[in-house]
Amino acid sequence: MNAPLSPSTATDPLSLAFDAARRAADEGEVPVGAVIVRDGAILSVAHNRPRALRDPTAHAEILAIRAACAAIDDERLIGCDLYVTLEPCPMCAGAISFARIRRVYFAALDPKGGGVEHGPRVFNQPTCHHAPEVYGGLREAEAATLLRDFFRDRREG
């Protein structure tokens, strides 16, 4: 996990992902949060940290995958579900496939940088080794507002 969760934080995975996204925004990172769950247990919670870590691969999904793999001591996340506040980019979609994540639930669509419903549509390619079930548009307006406000504040600041 990137940061401890406050005791008042909701326990449903998408709400935890939104909490993580807000932490990212507070730290000056693009507000994206991700949570990995297996059998109802939270394995990891992460948020974007490329600026803080000086690592272009430090997207919320990648950090959550790394932490979940460490938590279960396996490179495969079979039976795990990922909840994320933004449609995964192509890099993250590739990692999701390699990790064998069962389902991906995401909030906002990303027409410019997405890799699942937009762009290369990684999971639809014949070269994709594992395609998870995908459910998009969950709490989309909330996620879009979070992102829009973040970028507006950055432009005005």
Please give the annotated binding residues for Zn(2+), written as ranges.
59, 89, 92
Contacts of 116 (CB under 8 A, 6+ apart): 87, 88, 93, 104, 106, 122, 123, 134, 136
Binding residues: 59, 89, 92
Contacts of 3 (CB under 8 A, 6+ apart): 20, 23, 47
Answer yes or no: are the C-beta atoms of 13 and 53 closer than 8 Å.
no
Active site residue 140: no
Question: Rounded to whole angstroms, how far apart are CA atoms 56 and 72?
Answer: 25
- Out of 29, 61, 75, 156, the active site residue is 61
User: Catalytic positions, please?
Assistant: 61
